[in-house]
Structure 1
Amino acid sequence: MYYPIPDSEIDQFIEEDVPYGDLTTTLLGFGLTPGEITFTTRERTVVCCTEEAGKVLAKCGATVLDSIPSGTLVEPGTMILTAEGPAAALHAAWKVALNLLEYASGIATRTGTIVERARAANPGVNVVTTRKSFPGTKKIAIKAILAGGAFPHRLGLSESILVFTQHTAFIGGLDGFLAMIPELQQKTPEQKILVEADSAEEALRIAKAGADVVQVDKMPVDELTALVQEIRTTCPGVAVSAAGGINPENAAAYAATGIDIIVMSSVYFGKPSDIKAVIGPK
């Protein structure tokens, strides 16, 4: 999917790391020497942000020679980005580009693993991610999960309806909210109404009241399997999503319950991908 990070943010990444030039390279005096930089994977990786890393290099004065698109799954030893230019340009862009590649590819790779395992167990399951990314990194995080084969669960509060206990506490509890569902559907005919349940019993009540999606959090797999079967029988038009603690180790088990949607945050947290950067004279 084509999803570029705005140039204004790329400019900010560079400014954070090189606000007043590169003192070391300047003092050593080789800044105008022609050079080349390569970025190579050390592990199986879903590549992400090669486009933005290339822009970093270009903005610093280098020329990109070759680049593998975001979303490509590559094996260890794959060269994913190459550029040439004055040594000063390559050194200025080096760490900014590498950080982008490693952090974004880490998220993309974790996402790709979960998507692969979940769909092996349930080909129809959708994998989506929450808005729990670290503040200031949302655009990169969203690009990374898209590269890994997932989609956003919610980009923010403005474009979707997801009702929690924290909402119903202000409108007479769950009963008060369930009575409002027909009114909400009339007011927002183009939006689906998602409601999180605190138990299987609540989930069934929510489904029977006409919600479009019932979401459960940290429900054990056995209990979730039984709930999905009951909702399929009594409310066949209602989708079921599961959230809370879903990771590469248990994604297949959750998908096998028959749920429609896996909602996760775990991909945002973990080790960056291991990518080797080499700079040398050309």
Structure 2
Amino acid sequence: MGFLDPHILASKILEWVREDAPFGDITTELLVPEGRSVEAVIIAKSSGVVACVSDVARALKILGLEAAPLVGDGEEVRRGTAVMKLGGDARSILLFERTILNILMLLAGIATKTRKIVDIVRSVNPRVRVAATRKVVPGLRALVKKAVALGGGDTHRFSLSDAILIKDNHIAIVGDVEKAVRLAKSRASFAHKVEVEVTEPSDAVRAARAGADIVMLDNMSPSKVAEALELLKREGLRDRVVVEVSGGIDEDNVAAYAKLDPDVISTSVITMKPERVDMSLEIERLL
């Protein structure tokens, strides 16, 4: 599963390290002699689903360190599990330490939260997909999307460039839902599906009639979602569209939405409020 070129990730890690140590790591430079080599290990301090360990390891190799994953991406680990082995220049390892840990902890938290919500949904309705949104920290998109996939979720669209999603502000400018859908369908490539976001059950029907391929029921209560689905069925439109439910959905209410049998449930909670997965780096041996 390749989402990010390791050379690009390596350059990003360097950028983040420069932010953390703009004029060097003064403590390490005072205490650790040049040329000292060590072996180190990254250890999980809490349970969770690890993500992108192999990506980070490949990037660190490009940056001159020895790095080897000790667990598989998407694997559930317990407290005390060794996640990655590192070797090389001691100053470099200490310089990279916090940046590497921050990346791995964030991505593990996202994968863990995704797995948690996916498991809830599957226990209620295995047919329903759980998807992420575009609510991600700039610069981390590819890693975050991969963490979602490793947690069992759907990445949804990666960017504004690869999918058509008509939102409320588009509709406000164009005039109405039907006009926006027809305009998009008439101008878009045959290769692109058209999704439209609606906030009222009646607009779901209008969007489907106008030719939308995907209808997103946004910020609707379970009762409103049920109403929208019933209206689509009554009009003979339910099987013609993919129905996505989104907005305000988390682990506490996702089961209620899954029971209604939409096709997709998307939520930003998996990327904006990840689980806390702690890790540490320990020096194992001086070389």
How high is the TM-score relative to the length of structure 2?
0.87
| Contact 1:49–1:100 (Cα < 8 Å) also in 2 | no
Kindly provide the CA deviation profile for residues 209-250 of structure 1, in whole angstroms up to 9, marking residues without a partner as x: 321111111211123124224424521221111110111222
Contact 2:17–2:96 (CA under 8 A) maintained in structure 1 = yes
CA 1:21–1:67: 2 relative to 1, 3 Å: farther
Distance 1:28 1:237 in 2: 67
Q: Is the CA contact (8 Å cut-off) linking 1:57 and 1:89 kept in structure 2?
A: no
2:168 counterpart residue number: 165
Q: Which residue of 2 aligns with 1:86?
A: 89
Q: Note closer, same or farther for the CA distance 1:258–1:116 as it changes in structure 2 (3 Å cut).
A: same
Q: Deviations over 1:103-146 (max 9, x none)?
A: 11111111111112112212111222111112222222222212
> What is the alpha-carbon root mean square deviation over aligned residues?
2.3
Secondary structure class of the residue paired with 2:157: coil
Aligned to 1:127: 130
Tell me, yes or no, if the aligned pair for 1:14 and 1:56 is still in contact at 8 Å: no
Paired with 1:238 and 1:13, the residues of 2 have a C-alpha distance of 43
Letter in 2 for 1:26: E
How high is the TM-score relative to the length of structure 1? 0.88
Q: Describe the SS at the equivalent of 1:258.
A: coil
Q: Where in structure 2 are there 5+ consecutive unaligned residues?
A: none
Q: SS of 2:80's equivalent? A: coil
Question: Where has structure 1 moved over 6 Å in runs of 4 or more?
Answer: none
Shift in Å, 1:66? 4.2
* Equivalent position SS for 1:114: helix
Q: In structure 2, what residue type is equivalent to 1:154?
A: R
Question: Mind listing any 5+ residue stretches in structure 1 that lack a counterpart?
Answer: none
8 Å contact from structure 1 (residues 65, 83) kept in 2: yes
Structure 2 contact 53–69 (Cα < 8 Å) conserved: no
Residue identity (%)? 30
* Paired AA for residue 116 in structure 2: T
Count residues with an aligned counterpart. Answer: 280
Q: Which residue of 1 aligns with 2:4?
A: 4
Task: Report SS of the residue matched to 2:3.
Answer: coil
CA contact (8 A) 2:178 2:206 kept: no
Amino acid at match of 2:92: A
Q: Please identify, of 196-205 and 267-276, the stretch whose mean Cα deviation from structure 2 is larger.
A: 267-276
Q: Does 1:206 align with 2:236?
A: no
**Secondary structure in 2 matching 1:4:** coil
Q: In the alignment, does 2:153 pair up with 1:150?
A: yes
Q: What is the deviation of 1:31?
A: 4.7
* Contact 1:218/1:243 (<8 A) preserved: yes
Distance in 1 (alpha carbons) for counterparts of 2:27 and 2:63 = 16
